[in-house]
Amino acid sequence: MTDLFVPLQSLKQGDWFKLICGASFQHLPAVRSLTLAYTLAGADCIDVAADPAVIAAAQSGLQAAKSLAKDAQKRGFDYKGNLPFLMVSLNDGEDPHFRKAEFNPHECPTDCPRPCERICPAQAIVFDSIKEDFSGVVSEKCYGCGRCIPICPYSIIYTASYVTTPGAIAPLVMSTGVDAVEIHTQVGRLAEFERLWQAISPWADQLKLLAISCPDGEGMIDYLRALYDRIAPLKGALIWQTDGRPMSGDIGDGTTIAAVKLGQKVLAAKLPGYVQLAGGTNKYTVAKLKAMGLLKEAGEQGAGGRGEKFSPLLPAPCPPSSIAGVAYGSYARVLLSPILEQLENKEESNTNVKANVRLEEDEVLLWQAVELAHSLVSQIKSQQEH
């Protein structure tokens, strides 16, 4: 099997793992380190912002991982040097994944307890920071979770949203060599989706995978069917990403219930393609799926039934009967945040080095990060090990 087929085979087997770096997350050192660690841990897909600099950082992490394949194997990791798909996220309208928090720090009273700083999972809010040389929101670290907004005692935090410009999409996809595109949409935005799809469709054949992410809403299944009518036929695979509770996986075990519930709803609709969870996913998600019988068992046949000849380049031939995989965003990033913070601190302490310290340059931190990432990836991958 070639490198190209490995992620698609994971979809077929039902043990697909996707890392979501964040559609608005543009902190390049972190994107590179997350990509490197989760690739070595066995991820099938890395989803990043549709920003050339972010894509380049992820690609750098992918190549670093490939060069460390033998080291990973010696340490007991099952990474064989195959690269996960690189995916970019786009949106057809207002979406919480495509926004940044903002506020004027000069409006903050000096006696404010600053709960926003404590609650931010990305450590994107700073006050009088010597490192950042300013106070406020570090834009490239903010990924738009919005948790700071309701907790501000003075209601001065707001968000700035942005929408993908269709005309800029095709050149981006062509010039950066991404493997997959994810479109974030919502019920009722069929016309907006069509405009974005028209911009992508001339180059759709070069994509190995298309994912459509949609939160729940009245008429959701009919909306997804209408979307399928607009995009069919596809040369590559199709994923329905069920966004249960966006950007909340690191909050607690309860968030995974929303992700699983929405996944069940889309599975029941028997749409062509694969169903993959997101939004509220965390370390409890796979256990919940197993308990509910929503994951394939090792050796179980794929969507087309027993004896089916499967080409990994084609979409799922029949509606799925089980969850094909799980995408992890905030939980996966927060899991590695202690390592990334140590890496940043190491950079600061070395005044002679102005460039970012790369994760692979610190062997101890590198394999600690991979071990942490593997603790999450292995939960779903263990489905097919026996």
- pLDDT value of residue 86: 96
- pLDDT value of residue 5: 75
23 pLDDT exceeds 90? no
Q: Where are the beta strands (DSSP E) in the chain?
A: 16-20, 45-49, 85-91, 99-102, 125-129, 134-137, 158-161, 180-184, 209-214, 237-243, 274-278, 325-328
% of the chain surpassing 70 pLDDT:
87
Kindly state the average pLDDT of the residues 363-374: 98
176-193 pLDDT, tens per residue? 889 999 999 999 999 999
10 pLDDT exceeds 90? yes
% of the chain surpassing 90 pLDDT:
60
Which 3 state secondary structure label does DSSP give 100?
Answer: strand
Burial state string for 71-84 with b = 16 or more CB within 10 A and e = fewer than 16: bbeeeebebebbbb
- pLDDT value of residue 313: 47
Specify which residues 160 forms β-bridges with: 100
Kindly state the average pLDDT of the residues 294-322: 56
308 pLDDT exceeds 50? no
Burial state string for 347-385 with b = 16 or more CB within 10 A and e = fewer than 16: beeeeeeeebbbbbebeebbbbbbbbbbebbbbbbebbe
Kindly state the average pLDDT of the residues 263-275: 96
CA 265/CA 257 separation, integer angstroms: 12
CA 39/CA 48 separation, integer angstroms: 14
164 pLDDT tier (thresholds 50, 70, 90):
confident
- pLDDT value of residue 372: 98
212-252 pLDDT, tens per residue? 999 999 999 999 999 999 999 999 999 999 988 765 767 88
Mean pLDDT estimate for the chain: 86
- pLDDT value of residue 303: 43
Kindly state the average pLDDT of the residues 337-346: 92
- Tell me if the pTM is above 0.85: yes
- Kindly compute the dihedral angle of the four CA atoms of residues 129, 134, 137, 140, in this order, to the nearest 10 degrees: -90
- Phi, psi (deg, nearest 5) at residue 16: -70, 135
58-87 pLDDT, tens per residue? 999 999 999 999 999 999 998 989 999 999
- pLDDT value of residue 350: 58
378 pLDDT exceeds 90? yes
- The conformational region for residue 27 under phi > 0 = left, psi -120 to 50 = alpha, else beta, is beta
- pLDDT value of residue 156: 93
**What is the CB neighbour count within 10 angstroms for residue 314?**
12
CA 290/CA 179 separation, integer angstroms: 30
Bigger pLDDT: 150 or 385?
A: 150
- pLDDT value of residue 298: 65
- pLDDT value of residue 384: 60
- pLDDT value of residue 44: 97
36-57 pLDDT, tens per residue? 999 999 999 999 998 889 999 9
Scan for tokens 């570090």, then name that residue: 138
Bigger pLDDT: 96 or 309?
A: 96
- pLDDT value of residue 56: 93
- pLDDT value of residue 165: 78
Bigger pLDDT: 298 or 172?
A: 172
- pLDDT value of residue 147: 86
- pLDDT value of residue 319: 64
